[in-house]
Amino acid sequence: VLAAAPDRVPDADWLASWHADIYDRLAGEYGARADGLAEVTALSVRRLLSLAPARGDALDVGAGAGLVARALVDAGYRTTAIDVAPRMAQMCRERVPDAAVVVGDYIGHRFARRFDAIVAFAFIHLFPAELAIRALRKMHADLSHDGLLLIGTTAEPRCSEGFESKLDYPGFPQRYRRRWTEISFLAALDHAGFAVRDLARHEDPYGKRWTDVVAAKAPTSCR
Ligand SMILES: C[S@@+](CC[C@H](N)C(=O)[O-])C[C@H]1O[C@@H](n2cnc3c(N)ncnc32)[C@H](O)[C@@H]1O
């Protein structure tokens, strides 16, 4: 039985252990839906690949069932994936045995290397705005100087945030959800030091509308 979600904005450590618990419970359902989402995920990752100058080391942040990590390995990247939920990380390991899979909180984790590509799908909207900016700044720090970030979130008509029940999943578990408008999402990327290289919108098989952005480190003179 889950504890009640607090009525205050959570801090990074508290939220990481809350989401580890929630996403462990959701892992079975994510696994069941993964095959239906594999194509649309691979298509988005291809957008990054078409802009990336060369292959190298890639990081999948909030890897879930491992769809992004699979696409990155298939494209020839040495791939690391991180997820805070042990059951999600295990699914990723099974789908992508050739990726290095870390169980942990991305915001608190230190990597020994920088990455040529970082992908964060359906991740940034799990945090209050302040923590989301912290996560984006960490992605900026984890990226090599000419690396690319591919990041996707749902596009919403207005901004809001707080604990929300995930109504399309069994048990309606409550996870933190920030709803970004496209403009506020782009402003957050700018704030964290990124320059947008490409933007695409798509709808997934479940009717959710997404904005995917490929971004590079902005020249220092722009910041
Ligand atoms: C909505 S799922 C998206 C999975 C995958 N990126 C995809 O698009 O299919 C979000 C994932 O982020 C993970 N997650 C949540 N908070 C995290 C954190 N602080 N550090 C690492 N992973 C986290 C969850 O466990 C979950 O697997």
Interval 143-162: pLDDT, tens = 999 999 999 999 999 999 99
* pLDDT at site 1: 46
Contact 79, 96 (CB under 8 A): yes
Measure CA 65 to chain center.
Answer: 12
Q: How confident is the model at residue 223 (pLDDT cuts 50, 70, 90)?
A: low
Give the pLDDT mean for 187-208.
93
- What pTM, to 2 d.p., does this model score? 0.94
For the chain, what is the mean pLDDT?
92
Q: Residue 218 C-alpha to ligand 1 middle, in angstroms?
A: 26
Determine the average pLDDT of the residues in 99-115.
Answer: 98
Q: Which of 9-23, 36-50, 108-122, 190-204 has the weakest average pLDDT? A: 36-50
Ligand 1, atom 27: nearest CA belongs to which residue? 64
Given a cut of 60, is residue 2 above it in pLDDT?
no
Q: Residues near ligand 1 with C-beta < 6 Å?
A: 16, 19, 23, 62-65, 67-68, 82-85, 88, 105-107, 121-123, 126
State the pairing for strand pair 160-165/174-179: antiparallel
Cβ proximity of 55 and 76 under 8 Å: yes
Tell me, what's the pLDDT at 9? 80
Phi, psi of 132 (to 5 degrees): -65, -40
Residue 117: pLDDT over 80? yes
In percent, the amount of the chain with pLDDT more than 70 equals: 95
Testing ligand 1's pocket by substitution, the residue of 29, 40, 88, 123 carrying the most ligand atoms inside 8 A of its CB is 123
Q: Residue 151 in contact with residue 122, Cβ under 8 Å?
A: no
Lowest mean pLDDT among 65-79, 115-129, 201-215: 201-215
